[in-house]
Amino acid sequence: MATLSDRVAKSAQPLRVIELITLLAIAGIIVAITLPRCSGPAPTPHNQPPPASAPQDHPN
C-alpha cells in the first residue's frame, strides 16, 4: 500500500506544478484584459500629441 501511495504522490506532483502555472497564466491574462477596461482608456505618452505650450523642434 505504501508503494502505491508513493507512486501516486510522485505522479501527482508534476501535474500540480503544471496546474499552478496554468492557473497563474489564466489569472494573468484575465487581469491584463480587465484592468485597462476598468481604469478607462489611459492615454500613453507616445500616442498623445504634444501640448500647444511645448516648444516645437521646427519653427513655424
- Stated pTM of the model: 0.40
CA distances (Å), origin 56, targets 1, 18, 44, 49, 53: 80, 53, 20, 12, 9
pLDDT band at 54 (very low <50, low <70, confident <90, very high): low
User: 42 — phi, psi (to 5°)?
Assistant: -85, 120
pLDDT, residue 35, reads 78
pLDDT digit string, tens, across residues 19-33: 999 999 999 999 888
Q: What is the DSSP letter of 18?
A: H
Calculate the dihedral angle through the C-alpha atoms of 54, 55, 57, 58, rounding to the nearest 10 degrees.
Answer: 110
Q: Compute the radius of gyration of the chain from its Cα atoms.
A: 26
pLDDT, residue 23, reads 94
